[in-house]
Amino acid sequence: MNKIGIIIAREFNERVRKKSFIITTILMPLLMLGLMAAPTLMMVFAKGEQKTLLVIDESGVVAPELEGNDEVVFELFSGTLDEARQNEEVFGTLWIGKDVVEKPSSVRLYTNSSSSMSLEESIAAQIEDVVEAKRLEMYDIEGLKDIMDNLQASVSMTTYRNDLAAEGEAEEATSSVVAYLLGLVLGMMLYMFLIIYGSMVMTSVIEEKGSRVLDVLVSSVSPFQLMMGKILGVASVAVTQIAIWGVLICGLGATVLPALVPADVMQAVEAVEAGQMTALDAELDADMLSALSVATDVGGLVMMFVWLLLFLLGGFLFYSAMFAAVGSAVDSIQDANQLQTPITMPIILALILAMSVFNDPNSSLAFWGSIIPFTSPIVMMARIPFGIPTWEIVLSLVLLYASVVAMAWAAGKIYRVGIFMHGKKPSFKELLSWIKQ
């Protein structure tokens, strides 16, 4: 174990001291927040100058109802269409046909420069409202418009879990949208970590094998100790990165977010969670309330990261053992591409199965996908935000770590033979024979 510890320390120190690790670990959460805020910032700062549109309304019913905004201002034009189109001092001309109520397609927009989708949609929406109002008037029913407006309804539904309340847990509002987004992020995170860090183990073994460093190392440690030291060393790097992200996110959820959110909104979140009011009574979106509840629940965030670390570690040990075995059996990255295909396919399949979780997290496909070790790390992390029973998570972890032992044993058999093999890429049949030796 002392020898394995030395190898772990060397692999860990070599990677955490790199600038790339520091940058991705510290700046990645800030980058994610920046990407989330980018669309809003772009909408705020990307607004152009106010545009002037000349309006020729042959129907006489639309132009008086058009309202300008920060993006466009409407000016009624009494001349001909050709005269309006020749005016290059304005942005363009809006022509409305006399039969626009019966034929809404009789609308033309002529511009002197490129237009935008938001501008065109805004103009079309205003004209649609006017046409609909005029069509309602044609029925000659008193108060018909008010009746139609009163018929419109916006349902804001808050979901509560009876099974969780029956188990003695606090009754909290849940949101499938928030669970979907959280499951998607966690599943993608596991997918990226397994691929990136697993390939890192394989590349390290190939490089050291090519330089004949392994031939020297195995004179002091056994091949199995060397393989486990490399795997655990890289795994410690991944766990460290996740742990730092967990501390940052939990810290933001506990301190920064409650300070940024208005006090009345936070009170509404607590009231909805306690069942004292609905999201509709609070005049807040149910999904937003659920998102705030998840982001400010430090205990829930900590538990989420605990599950993430356990499945990350188990999944990484499971797959990195195979990556290390492939790296020991070849002499170059090019030779490894064919042998690593059977390893990456289950990871890709797990990501595909995770997408089916979002349709029904309790389906048989989702359940078995989260239990079978080849797919369980990614699929289970996609299911956890939906509030699945704890015994399923524990069963998945037990099977995963039991499979890690078996996979490490089989990979160790290949590793101890492969590191001394040079000049020939083995077939799958030969790899199987190495395991049986």
| Segment 379-401 mean pLDDT | 89
Whether 199 has a pLDDT exceeding 70, the answer reads: yes
d(CA 119, CA 127): 13
Tell me the pTM.
Answer: 0.65
pLDDT digits (tens, 9 = 90+) for 49-99: 788 889 988 888 888 888 888 788 898 888 888 888 888 888 889 998 888
pLDDT digits (tens, 9 = 90+) for 244-265: 877 777 776 666 666 666 666 6
The confidence score (pLDDT) of residue 403 equals 92
Whether 168 has a pLDDT exceeding 60, the answer reads: no
Whether 426 has a pLDDT exceeding 70, the answer reads: yes
Higher pLDDT, 155 or 397: 397
| Segment 234-251 mean pLDDT | 81
Dig out the tokens for 275 from the structure: 């069942």
The confidence score (pLDDT) of residue 401 equals 92
- Do 360 and 386 meet the contact criterion of CB atoms below 8 Å apart? no
What number of other Cβ atoms are within 10 A of residue 57's Cβ?
20
| Segment 23-28 mean pLDDT | 72
Whether 395 has a pLDDT exceeding 90, the answer reads: yes
Residue 177 pLDDT class (50, 70, 90 cuts): low
